[in-house]
A and B are shown apart, each in its own frame.
Chain A
Amino acid sequence: MWELKVDREVNAGALDAELRKALGASYVGLSTGNGSCVVYLQGERDEATLKLAEAAIAAHDPTSLSPDQRAELRQDEARSRLGKKAFAAMSEAERDEALQVLLELHGLALPPELEG
């Protein structure tokens, strides 16, 4: 495994999705902490993979959200909006929404952001 240090601001979840798409099986993942980001790649270090990774990092927009992050944001928003409401007081649409989030959080339904 070899590493690539990223010296710019990143949105880790979004960059992870972008690198996974660009590099496929060569990509192991990335870590952040202490203001730095390290990308992990498997196999022997090679120029073609390095160039692909650098291009994905250069094109990365830290303000864009990954599908995972969009789902998490929607779930958090639904929880804070519906969490204090009694189930009996919810409208049918709110009950459907609460049920959908509950199923997603327990791994029983795929968030719509991740479908397809």
Chain B
Amino acid sequence: MGWTTPKTWNVDELVTAAMMNTHLRDNMNYLFSPNRQQKTGNANYSTTSTSFVDVDSSNLSFSLETYGGPVLVWAMVACKVSTSGAYIGLDVEVDGTRLGAGYSSGLAKFASIYTAPVTIFRVVELSAGTHTFKLQWRVSGGTGYIYGGSTNAQAVFGAMEI
């Protein structure tokens, strides 16, 4: 069950079970368990791309139906870059537009030759409908690595309406 815009009640209106179920029960149920997706990368990834590209278009990408509320987007990855002085830019693309399009390194910049975690949290305002989310990255030079396929690291990417 999704969210239904709550009805405006009238004086002396007969309240039916169907109305209560739709506007109260189902909406309460949705608020307690809103639509959400969380994906995990099941491989180690590398890129040398200097333009933003998908990290994994199959596993770190998803569609989510929302009802007009704000949406929390998150990503957690362990990464490193091969070359000292180079950096990895991480970003989230929603419906073909990057959230960090105004920044050369996207939403997060990581510059270390040693593996460390990077986290993105972002609240976005989206109209009601089905939206496509993709985790993207690029490097300024060298090779960027995300570790998602080993027993000690997992790449996580998710979103939920809040």
Please give the residue numbers on chain A whose beta carbons come within 8 Å of chain B beta carbons, in ascending order. 1, 12-13, 16, 28-35, 38, 40, 42, 68, 72, 104-107
Contact = CB atoms under 8 A, between A and B. Distances in A.
Nearest to B51: A28
A68 B142 contact: yes
A42 B51 contact: yes
10 contacts: A13-B48, A29-B139, A30-B47, A31-B46, A31-B47, A33-B43, A34-B59, A40-B51, A68-B143, A104-B84
A interface SS class: mixed
Contact of A68 (B43, B83, B138): B83
Contact of B46 (A1, A12, A68, A106): A12
Given A29-B51, A31-B47, A34-B59, A12 B143 contact: yes
Given A30-B47, A68-B143, A105-B113, 15 more contacts: A12-B48, A13-B82, A28-B53, A29-B47, A29-B48, A29-B50, A29-B51, A29-B139, A31-B45, A31-B49, A32-B46, A33-B41, A33-B45, A33-B46, A33-B56
B42 interface: yes
Contact of A34 (B58, B138, B143): B58
A100 B51 CA distance: 32
B75 interface: no
A98 to B, nearest CB: 16
Interface in B29-73: 41-51, 53-56, 58-59
Contacts of A30: 47-49
Contacts of B45: 31-33
Given A12-B48, A16-B48, A68-B143, A31 B53 contact: yes
B112 to A, nearest CB: 10
Interface residues of B, number: 27
B42 A34 contact: yes
Contact of A33 (B55, B82, B142, B143): B55
B85 interface: yes
B44 A33 contact: yes
B111 to A, nearest CB: 10
A30 B43 CA distance: 16
Contacts of A28: 49-51, 53
Nearest to A103: B84
Contacts of B143: 12-13, 16, 68
Report the 4 A-B pairs with minimum CB-CB distance, sorted nearest first: A29-B49, A107-B84, A33-B45, A29-B48
B110 to A, nearest CB: 15
